[in-house]
Structure formats: structure tokens, C-alpha cells
Amino acid sequence: MNSVDLEDPSANRLDSQRKVVDPCSIVIFGASGDLTARKLIPAFYHLYKEHQLPAAFRIVGFARREKSDASFRAELREALDVFSRTKPVEDAVWEQFAGHISYCRGDLTDRSAYEKLERQLASFQPAELRNNLLFYLAISPSQFGEAVENLHQTGMLKPPEPGGWQRIVVEKPFGHDLASAHALNNELTRYAHESQVFRIDHYLGKETVQNILMFRFSNSIFERLWSRDSVDHVQITVSEQHAVGSRGGYYEEAGAMRDMLQNHMLQVLSLATMEPPVSLEAEAIRDEKVKLLKSIRPFTPESVARQVVRGQYFAGVVEGKPQVGYRQEAKVRPDSNVETYVAAKLFIDNWRWSGVPFYLRTGKCLPLGASEVRIQFRPTPNVLFSAASNGRLDPNSLTLRLQPNEGITLRFNGKIPGPRVGARPVRMHFSYDSEFGAYTPEAYERLLLEAIAGDATLFIRRDEVEAAWQIVDSIRRNWEGKPLSNREFYAAGTWGPIAAEELLAQAGHVWRDPQPLK
Ligand code: BG6
């Protein structure tokens, strides 16, 4: 029998299997856009550099502007110098990688452009490059339906069948409410099977977000505490220092609720609270997430008034730099009531979480950019040390730090050395960086690889996106026609509006702000 050195933590490591990736072609619709240059090409470049892409592959950029293969590659190269996570870009690697990239000029509404694309794909060797096709729709959602229909009509998108696969990757915003998300889903699935649709939420590409399930279901000591029996409440914070900047036009239509809470935050919440899945299959995990989302208590006009706070930043100072107010940002209406901050108190009406408040908050122009899940445990009975400190003993907490300073912190009380009986909170930290070294792939690298491999675990299923919109709609419909109140504005560079403090104070709670690690 092999002996395992239990003192060596790496001895028990479950090394992830390399993904099996078939030769394929990747077509990026909207290839002249920001996403291609900033995220997609840098991600493909790194996957290529790390030998994770299939042995044979092609990337075809499809867009309206007139470009040659050479000018398209030159543009991408220039952008890569700026957006690559590793610098400098390696010339030799780029040259080889760029040989796989070509350009196809065309209008999304023009059938003949798809026929031209089809001819380009048909010229690729080996045959898998013509049959295994990943279509990345980096285009406006209003164009999804037409693109998918044209792909179908020109024979590039076929029903799932042996001998090849075609997949469609779409980005957020995925609708702006339940009705529009539903309509979008119908358009996509008119010509594609749900199993061919990969909806991206880039938070699921983050290692720390994936680790939530691993942490919960590979450690018996914490999962036992993971319920109303031990948990007092949970705080999920996704704070951002930056302002809306050049995205004012988009943000006016979105706001923090649609931009962050509907997707990233509800995803984090569902991973942190769902029941154990029956297996690690994509559908098993997604089933549990949907169940969880459906157990969130729907909002009523009364509960929105009591449990949800909007906010908007006015001029202030962020990290020593002056910041204009949201209403003064470019492409923002001067009397805009769009929320740049939202805080909500949710309840999950199931056996495990009944009665436990979940506080979610996110905002722009806050003092620190940090995402974390903080599990706040119940206080000890007010006897012994708690009584000796007038009930002021800090309850234990466990913080999953999603970014930055990725890691986990357990906070508990320790005796202050000396003859007096005094206690104060002390911390136990796990840091990814010191444990595993700097391993910082971009979320997109992971997600693109999963889409090529056909593993849908890290993508959002139709019923999931719709369940999330249902929650958000039940809140948003109560905001219509109601301007922000004075208590809902906050100075840029502060932790949000006073109303958000009051939201927690109702139950005797306080926000635990993320702390920079010393
Ligand atoms: C995007 C939002 O989905 O996520 C942005 O549209 C936000 O407004 C961003 O800034 C945050 O992502 P991350 O990975 O920087 O936390």
C-alpha cells in the first residue's frame, strides 16, 4: 500500500485533470469591439502559450469594418501589449498564435456575409475545424436572434448530433428584466438547443468563486456550521473603487441592481448557500443553484421599502483623488435616479436557512475594491467570558475573500496575555498567494476553455437566469417613478448611504467592511 504523508498538504492534492479539447474553430461576432481586444484575445493568447488550446484551432473575427487578416492581427497585437496579464508579450509565441487568426468582414443582418463565413470555415483543415464551432456573440443582445437564425440557415449551427458540435457563447446583459430575458432565451433556443448555449457570468471563472463549493463540500468542519443553527447572518460585499467612467450610457440603462446583483452577486449567494449537489455534473450543480434562487423570498412593496436600499454617489474623494458625482458623468442624465449602489436584505425560505438574514451590497466609488462573503456566526451565550466583557465579545466569523488578497479568514476570540481576563478577536488567514504561489489566470481563460471543452458547469442555465430576474424584478418594479431620497445619496469614497447602515441596524447588525490585508 502506498503511504501518504499527511503532514505534507500537497500529498493529498487532487490535481485537476486536463480538459479534453477537440480541434475547433472559434468565431467571434463583434470582433472589432472592446471585449475582443481586452479580454478574449488576451485569454486565447495565454491559453495558447500554456498549451491548453487544441492542437488544431482557428479564430475568425467577424465584424462590419473593412480589415485584412494582417490589419486585424496588428490591431489585436497592439491591444495585447496593453491588456495582456503577462508582460512583455512574447513575440515568438504571438507570431505562431496569430497565424491561427483570420478576419471575415460582414454585416450581421446580411445572409451573404454568413455564407462567406461558411466558405471560409469550409476551407479549414482538418475536418474538425469545419464541424466543431464555437460562436462567441460579442454583440448587442438585440442581434442575437438574427445571428443565430442566420447561422442555422447557412448550415453552420446544427442540432446536437454525433460527429461535431456547435456552441454559442453569450455575454451579459442577458435581458433587462424577466420578460426580455425570456424573449432572448426563446430567440436563442429557436435554433439552438439549450445544451448548446453558454451564458457567461465572469464571476464563475474566478478561482475563489469556484472554491466556494470546494471549501464547503470538501471540509466537514465548516459545512456542519453552515445553517441557521450556527449562522447569525451573512454579508456579501462586492465593492468597487472605480466610477462608471466611460460606461455612463450603458449604466443609465443598467444600474447596480442589473449590472451586479442580478448576476454576479446572486451567483455567489447561490454557491454559498445551495444544498450539496448529487454529483459534480453541470446539471446537478445548476439544479441546486436554481432551487436556491427559487427559495429566495419574493419581495413585496412593503419588504422592498424595508429591506432594499438604493444609493447614488455625489462628488467626493476616492483614494485621494477628486471624483465627480454620478449625475455629472458623461452620458448620464443630470437628474438621473439610477442606483450606483444597492444593498438588500434577503431571506432564503428553506429548511437550512429559515430566518437567517442575507445582506448583499455592491457599489461604485466606495473606499476599497473588494469582494467577499462573510459568515457571521451566532454569539456565545452571555455567560463566562461574554458576561465578563459585558456581552461585547465579538461573534466568530469566516470570510471568504474572493478578491483581492484571495483567501479565507477565520476570526475568533483569544485571550489578551496578562493577568486580567480580557479577550479580543484574532485572525487565522489562508492566502492563495502564499499557499499556491501567484496563479492568476483571467476568468475568461477558464471560461473559454470550459466552453471549448463543452462543460457547462460554469455557465448560467436558462431557468437560472430567469429565476434571478424574477427576484430583481420584484424589487425594481417598486422603484419605478420613485426618486432617490436624501438618505440614499453617498459621497464618493465612502461606504454608501446612511440608509444602508439603517438597514442592518434594524436587526442590531452592522456592516463589516472589507479590510486591506496588512
Ligand atoms: C461587470 C460589470 O460585469 O463586472 C462592471 O458590468 C463591474 O460594472 C465588473 O465593474 C466587476 O468585475 P470584477 O471582475 O472587476 O469584479
pLDDT band with cut points at 50, 70 and 90 for residue 7: very low
Instruction: pLDDT band for 316, please (50, 70, 90 cuts).
Output: very high
The pLDDT of residue 518: 63
Using a 6 Å cutoff on CB, does residue 488 contact ligand 1? no
Q: With cut-offs at 50, 70 and 90, classify the pLDDT of residue 4.
A: very low
pLDDT of residue 15: 38
Grid cell for residue 250: 450603458
d(CA 260, ligand 1 centre) in Å: 7
What integer pLDDT is reported at residue 10 of this predicted model? 41
DSSP, res 441: -
Long-range contacts of 292-296 (CB under 8 A, 24+ apart): 292/348, 292/350, 293/266, 293/464, 293/467, 293/468, 293/471, 294/467, 295/348, 295/349, 295/350, 295/353, 296/346, 296/347, 296/348, 296/349, 296/471
Instruction: Identify the CA nearest to 372 among candidates 477, 517, 274, 258.
Output: 517
Task: Please tell me whether residue 51 adopts helix, strand or coil conformation.
Answer: coil
Mean pLDDT of 53-72: 97
Does position 100 have pLDDT exceeding 60, yes or no?
yes
In three-state secondary structure terms, 397 is strand
pLDDT tens for each residue of 227-243:
999 999 999 999 999 99
Residue whose CA is at the smallest distance from ligand 1 atom 9: 260
In the chain, the amino acid numbered 185 is N
**Res. 16: pLDDT tops 90:** no
3-state SS string over 197-262?
Answer: EEECCHHHHCHHHHHHHHHHHCCHHHHCCCCCCCEEEEEEEEECCCCCHHHHHHHHHHHHHHHHHH
Q: What residues are annotated to the active site?
A: 264
Please report the atom of ligand 1 found closest to the CA of residue 403.
16
Between the CA of residue 231 and those of 360, 385, 396, what are the distances in Å?
Answer: 16, 20, 10
Q: Is 372 in the pocket of ligand 1 (CB under 6 A)?
A: no
Q: What's the confidence (pLDDT) of residue 8?
A: 44
pLDDT in tens, 380-427: 988 888 877 877 889 999 999 999 999 999 999 999 999 988 889 999
- Round to whole Å and give the CA distance between 243 and 326: 8
> 42 alpha carbon to ligand 1 midpoint, in Å?
17
Return the CA Rg of the chain: 25
Which pairing describes strands 308-314 and 166-170: parallel, antiparallel, or unpaired? unpaired
Query: Residues with Cβ < 8 Å from 186, sequence gap 6 or more?
Result: none
Q: Which atom of ligand 1 is nearest to the CA of 203?
A: 14
Reading the block at residue 479, the C-alpha cell is 422603484
Residue in 259, 261, 263 to alter for ligand 1 test, most ligand atoms within 8 A of Cβ: 259
Kindly report the average pLDDT of the chain as a whole number: 94
473 CA distance to ligand 1 middle (Å) = 21
Contact 128 CB / ligand 1 (< 6 Å): no
Residue nearest to atom 4 of ligand 1 (CA): 260
Q: Which long-range contacts (CB under 8 A, 24 or more apart) does 78-84 make?
A: 79/37, 79/38, 79/41, 79/42, 80/37, 80/41, 80/42, 80/45, 83/37, 83/38, 83/39, 83/42, 84/42, 84/45, 84/46
Encode pLDDT of 128-166 as tens digits.
Answer: 999 999 999 999 999 999 999 999 999 999 999 888 999
DSSP per-residue codes, 269-315? HHHHHPPPPSSSSHHHHHHHHHHHHHHBPPP-HHHHHHHEEEEEEES
Is 442 close to ligand 1, i.e. is its CB under 6 Å away?
no
The domains located in the chain, with CATH, are 5-171 (3.40.50.720), 205-505 (3.30.360.10)
Burial (CB count within 10 angstroms: exposed 0-12, middle 13-18, buried 19+), residue 434: exposed
Compute the distance from residue 265 Cα to the ligand 1 centre, in Å: 11
| 445-455 average pLDDT score | 96
Q: Is the CB of 288 under 6 A from ligand 1?
A: no
pLDDT at 163: 87
**Range in 19-33, 55-69, 225-239, 378-392 the model is least confident about:** 378-392
Element (H, E) at 132: none
Nearest Cα residue to atom 15 of ligand 1: 240
Question: Which percentage of the chain shows pLDDT scores above 70?
Answer: 96
Q: How many other CB atoms sit within 10 Å of the CB of residue 259?
A: 23
* Local structure of residue 460 (DSSP, 8 states): B
- Assign 319 a pLDDT band (cuts: 50, 70, 90): very high
What does residue 70 show for φ and ψ, rounded to 5 degrees? -65, -45
What is the structure's pLDDT at 504? 98
With the most atoms of ligand 1 within 8 angstroms of its CB, the residue from 38, 239, 240 to mutate is 240
pLDDT of residue 14 exceeding 60, the answer is no
Of 239, 252, 261, 264, which is best to mutate to test ligand 1, by the most ligand atoms within 8 angstroms of its C-beta?
A: 264
DSSP 351-376: TTTTT-EEEEEEESS-SS-EEEEEEE
Number of the ligand 1 atom closest to the C-alpha atom of 254: 6
Phi, psi of 394 (to 5 degrees): -70, 130
Is it the case that residue 204 has pLDDT exceeding 90? yes
Asked if residue 177 lies in contact with residue 185, where contact means CB atoms within 8 angstroms, the answer is no
pLDDT reported for residue 17: 53
Average pLDDT for residues 58-71, to the nearest whole number? 97
Name the residue among 144, 115, 124, 113 with its Cα closest to residue 26: 124
C-alpha cell, 452: 471549448
